Amino acid sequence: MQRERARYARYLALAGLAAVAIALAAWLILSKLALWSEILGAVGLVLLAGAILLNPAGVKAALGRRQARYGGNAFLMSLAFVGIVGVLNYLGARHYVRWDVTAEKQFSLSEQTLQLLRSLQEPVQVKLFFTPSHYNRQQAEDLIKEYAARSAKLTYEFIDPDTQRRLALDYGIGRDGTIVFERNGRREFCFGVQEQDLTSALLKVTQDRTRTVYFLTGHQERDPENTDAQGYSQIKQALTAENYQVKTLNLAMTTTLPSDIDVLVIAGPKGTLAEEELNRLANYVEQGGKVLALVEPGMPDPFAGLLRRYGLELPDDLVLDPVRSFFGDIATPLVDRYTFHQITKDLTGLTTLFPMARSISITHPLPEGWNVQFLAQSSSDSWAETGYREKQVRPDAHEARGPLGLAAVAEPSQTGTGKGRLVVIGSANFCSNDLLTQVRGSVGNLDLFMNAINWLAEEEALISIRPKEMTTRQVTLTAAQARTIIYTNILFVPLVVLAVGVWVWWRRR
């Protein structure tokens, strides 16, 4: 009778263990407890309890064996390990620390994006119209999660345009992979999944007014529509991405300045402005106007001394720096230290180039009511070459020695009555198409230009470092190098493992 009960108890135990194992597997796979799995688990536990009741002596004897004690200890240790890992994961999910070691910090949001998210005052909804199989869906999801984690004002949802066609039609979605930002009934569409794409759309949907930047024309200045090497078309793209309108203005063809002008850019004039143009420019600044002037060498002061009213002068020279220059080009001073200002506060660690730059001087004494300071200067080894048209140049006794001003800012003092703002940079090649193309993502020229525009337009919240584009990296191998890698992984490593195994077997034998 006892033997018969033991046999039945063994069958009940096997059936109970199988039922519990199936229930646990279903819970792990489905990530939830279904009704049938709960019933099956309960039945398994009842069967195990029945097996214990039918053969308690056998269970006690089995638990008293050495294998059972060792197994019990191993089970308890495994249970403790799983518990510790579970607690660590629970704490890590709520108090996590991330470390981005990529060169472009591609898994970290830029300071500009973080400032924008922190400044959100109203809720922003983001609808991402992606089919599950879209090739950019995972990248878009990873990025939008970062945005939502930084601001409680931003929420998002993914919408399948195939299964939710009515909603897709309501939003006018014409292609898979469209992202829509909404705020107070305003919508901004985005078709890229890079940080600069999403930040640009977020910026546009959160601003109630589009500011306008005018570029002065009529003196062979750099053209924002020109796509050639010396043009400023890339600057126009950067301005448009930050929700600025870009227009042109010829002071000789109008008696009044446009009412929508927020910033006037004078980029590399080849001739001196006429007296009437200078008067209009002075009136504009005195009435609170904002001017960004990029003035290259090769001619006397194109403003005919007008900038002295604001504490600045433009000597006719060329800054040469034999120590701090770009790959030995002494006519391209390199700057990586800046005077603290709202424009430069986030440029620490970035290098800025000033190719073919003239020096900027600060007048002494300063005009009453104005504060003037340098933003960037050349090194102490530089000099202001006045004979730059000659074939050979050297520092002469009468030429100014470094550090020399390369970029400067003038603004009314707290006790002054002025209202305008000026930023002067001694190089027009500073942000031309060819330079921005050659050094894209590696220097701070574009950041300095856009920070100056944002400060002039009184958009201080946007002054920061812009999202960087990802750099495509590839490894080029010779045929011999490729064979070395293949044979090392296919033959050498397995042979080493095999040799170690044979050696261990021989020692034990």
Mean pLDDT of 17-44: 78
- The percent of residues above 70 in pLDDT, for the chain, comes to 83
Mean pLDDT of 241-264: 90
pLDDT band at 210 (very low <50, low <70, confident <90, very high): confident
Query: Are 215 and 223 contacting, i.e. CB atoms less than 8 angstroms apart?
Result: yes
Most confident of 41-55, 62-76, 177-191: 177-191
Q: Is the pLDDT of residue 182 over 90?
A: yes
pLDDT band at 89 (very low <50, low <70, confident <90, very high): confident
pLDDT band at 406 (very low <50, low <70, confident <90, very high): very high
The pLDDT assigned to 414 comes to 75
Q: Which of 104-118, 159-173, 205-219 has the lowest mean pLDDT?
A: 104-118
Q: Is the pLDDT of residue 424 over 70?
A: yes
Q: How far is CA 138 from CA 132, 134, 135, 193, 308, in A?
A: 9, 8, 7, 10, 56
Q: Choose among 134, 124, 131, 132: nearest CA to 198.
A: 124
The pLDDT assigned to 502 comes to 80
Q: Which of 187-191, 230-234, 433-437, 489-493 has the lowest mean pLDDT?
A: 489-493
Q: Which of 42-56, 57-71, 253-267 has the lowest mean pLDDT?
A: 57-71
Higher-confidence residue of 327 and 107: namely 327
> What's the rounded Cα separation, in Å, for the pair 89 and 83?
10
Instruction: Give the pLDDT confidence of 287-322 residue by residue, as tens digits.
Output: 999 999 999 998 899 999 999 999 999 999 999 999
Neighbours of 311 (CB within 10 A): 21
Instruction: Give the pLDDT confidence of 451-496 residue by residue, as tens digits.
Output: 999 999 988 766 665 665 555 555 655 666 677 777 677 777 787 7
Mean pLDDT of 223-247: 92
The pLDDT assigned to 429 comes to 93
- The percent of residues above 90 in pLDDT, for the chain, comes to 42
Q: Choose among 428, 467, 422, 433: nearest CA to 447.
A: 467
Mean pLDDT of 144-156: 92
Place of tokens 């009511």: 369
Does the domain at 111-202 match CATH 3.40.50.300? Answer given as: no
CATH 3.40.30.10 residue spans of the chain: 111-202
- Architecture of the domain defined by 210-462: 3-Layer(aba) Sandwich (3.40)
Query: Are 313 and 383 contacting, i.e. CB atoms less than 8 angstroms apart?
Result: no
Cα–Cα–Cα angle for 180, 186, 187, rounded to 5 degrees: 20
> What's the rounded Cα separation, in Å, for the pair 498 and 495?
5
> What's the rounded Cα separation, in Å, for the pair 417 and 313?
21
What is the C-alpha radius of gyration for the chain, rounded to an integer number of angstroms? Answer: 35
- Output the CA torsion sign for 84, 88, 90, 91: positive
Higher-confidence residue of 345 and 100: namely 345
Q: Is the pLDDT of residue 419 over 60?
A: yes
The pLDDT assigned to 2 comes to 61
Within its chain, how far is the Cα of 285 from the centroid? 34
pLDDT band at 246 (very low <50, low <70, confident <90, very high): very high
The pLDDT assigned to 276 comes to 93
Query: Are 176 and 135 contacting, i.e. CB atoms less than 8 angstroms apart?
Result: no
The pLDDT assigned to 331 comes to 92
Query: Are 264 and 249 contacting, i.e. CB atoms less than 8 angstroms apart?
Result: yes
Taking the chain, what is the end-to-end CA distance rounded to the nearest angstrom?
Answer: 49
Contacts of 169 (CB under 8 A, 6+ apart): none
- The DSSP secondary-structure symbol of 173 reads -
